[in-house]
Chains A and B, each alone.
Chain A
Amino acid sequence: MVPEGLHYTKAHEWVKVEGDRGRIGITHFAQSQLGDIVFAELPQVGRVLRQMEAFGVVESVKAVSDLYCPLTGEVIEVNSSLESNPEQINADPYGGGWMIVVSIADPGELGNLMSAEEYKAFLAAEEH
């Protein structure tokens, strides 16, 4: 449930590097902790985000959770289908549940993120 090749934040977002762009979502762990997601609020295309800046919100039946951008960059795509079908985040957090794509301003920032191995160890530590 932690795919190789992605980069992870301690706030449970992932980013997949696609050339000079980064595709961003929340992890399987995050969606399972939240439970049924019923609402997603995402930024507009064109907004510039700094690394770990809050870029939106997901809400489950019971909880409100902020989303943090793993990398600095400009939002160039938004998964607007999540507005009407937020349950895709539960069903397919690394696929159809992606949230935004940003243009990567500084690839060096990837060094601040965790690899799949590191994120797995982070989750194991969180559970204890």
Chain B
Amino acid sequence: MSEAIGPLRRTPLCEMHRQLGARMVAFGGWEMPVQYAGILEEHRAVRERAGLFDVSHMGEIEITGPGALEAVQYLTPNDASRLSAGEVQYSALTTPEGTFVDDITVYKFAADRYWLTVNASNIEKDFAWIREHVISGAEVRNISDEMALLALQGPRAQEILEKLTSVDLGTLRYFRFVEAQVIGIDCCISRTGYTGEDGFEIYISPQHVATLWNALLEAGTPMGLQPCGLGARDTLRLEAKMALYGQDIDDRHTVLEADLGWIVKLEKGEFIGREALVRQKAAGISRKLVGFEMRGRGIARPHYTITRDSQLIGEVTSGGPAPSLGKNIGLGYVAVQYAAIGTEFDIVIRGQPVAARVVPTPFYKRAR
């Protein structure tokens, strides 16, 4: 969890989180709930039933105009021209070096209207970056303050949301979204998430988000829905090997090193960082983000070193217990010759090497 400098920002639900017994922490400049009933219980709720997260701290940047697609294409490595209206794409804002300004999701509303959903701690940086690099014909607006966001995640998410909307959620596929009403309020319902479960992210205006939060909890509680904090969000996303900006990805590691080559479409045309990524792809990467599980007793944590035969070969970026797997897992960058599945190395925990092994990721994959 990052420490904030200066006063913390609050989502419209801050007081409600306190009333629900949440423990609040500073995260990315925001005061956010880290847990309500407990991280393990909330984690289990999302895997087995459903969880409701306030993620209103996330940012949204809108790009409109005749040059909107061209702008998105230039800013991001994935191919936004493949999107139809109502589709979402995981992508990034890349630097000329092919590293991350941020990781983002791209929403296509229309040929001349896109949204980028960005990390809370990066909103101002991303907005400045985009304005600096966007070409003519596109207008960029930071709409983060006009947008709240709830994530309803888990196998019973659809069943719960269906009680509050007439939208046919059964036909809304993964990474698709629809503008619709939920309890009579205009929302954008996106079938996406950061947990490795089925679920929805619901964009709504800040003045209505409390009403929606309460309605979802009321409808969902009989089905086992629980409010969930950032603690469970982190254990869930780690099991699903979804990268966390500032830990697993940053402006010092390239998209290829982060093992996110699938969002790099070199053939799509010019974009920021393309040249560097073309070069790196040809030369080969020298380090790579891998998933590992602990074989010895111990929990890997960010910044622990990774060694083999006492030689430094890498560093942990994320680590912790995987409650759904009953193991301790982690992510880290290692020299590429140690990145193959099955490779054994040590995580140095309080000065002692503890055995770990590279395993296939995602660590957790839901049954479909």
Contact = CB atoms under 8 A, between A and B. Distances in A.
A83 B298 CA distance: 11
Contacts of B321: 38-39, 61
B348 to A, nearest CB: 14
B350 A36 contact: no
A35 B301 contact: no
B35 to A, nearest CB: 6
Interface in A1-50: 35-36, 38-39, 41
B234 to A, nearest CB: 7
Contact of B39 (A36, A39, A83): A36
A100 to B, nearest CB: 18
Which of A35, A38, A39, A61 gathers the greatest number of chain B CB atoms within 10 Å? Answer: A61
A90 B30 CA distance: 28
Contact of A35 (B35, B234, B320, B328): B35
Nearest to A64: B301
B350 A61 contact: no
Would you call the interface of chain A mostly helix, strand, loop, or mixed? strand
B301 A61 contact: no
A123 interface: no
A62 interface: yes
Contact of A62 (B34, B297, B328, B350): B34
B265 to A, nearest CB: 36
Given A35-B39, A36-B39, A61 B320 contact: yes
Interface string B310-323: 00000000001101
Interface in A82-110: 83
Contact of A61 (B23, B231, B297): B231
A61 B134 CA distance: 41
Contact of B231 (A57, A62, A83): A62
A59 interface: yes
Using C-beta atoms within 8 Å of the partner chain, give the interface range for chain B.
Answer: 10 to 19
B38 A38 contact: no
A62 B38 contact: no
B235 interface: yes
A62 B40 contact: no
A15 B235 CA distance: 34
A103 B57 CA distance: 52
B210 interface: no
Given A59-B299, A61-B320, A62-B234, A35 B38 contact: yes
B316 to A, nearest CB: 13
A61 B323 CA distance: 9
Contacts of B34: 62
A60 B328 CA distance: 12
B143 interface: no
Interface in B1-56: 1, 23, 34-35, 38-40
A41 B35 CA distance: 24
B1 A62 contact: yes
A67 to B, nearest CB: 12
Given A61-B321, A62-B39, A38 B234 contact: no
Nearest to A61: B39
A96 to B, nearest CB: 18
A30 to B, nearest CB: 14
Contact of A36 (B23, B40, B234, B328): B40
A38 B1 contact: no
Contacts of A59: 299
Contacts of A41: 297-298, 350
B67 to A, nearest CB: 44
A108 to B, nearest CB: 31
A125 B297 CA distance: 37
A61 B301 CA distance: 10
A16 B291 CA distance: 43
B299 A35 contact: no
Contacts of A62: 1, 34, 39, 231, 234, 320
A4 B321 CA distance: 35
Given A38-B299, A39-B321, 9 more contacts: A35-B38, A36-B38, A38-B40, A39-B297, A41-B298, A59-B299, A61-B235, A61-B323, A62-B320
8 contacts: A35-B35, A36-B38, A39-B297, A39-B298, A39-B299, A39-B328, A62-B231, A62-B320
Interface of B: 1, 23, 34-35, 38-40, 231, 234-235, 297-299, 301, 320-321, 323, 328, 350
Query: Which A-B residue pairs are the 3 nearest by beta carbons?
Result: A61-B39, A36-B40, A38-B321
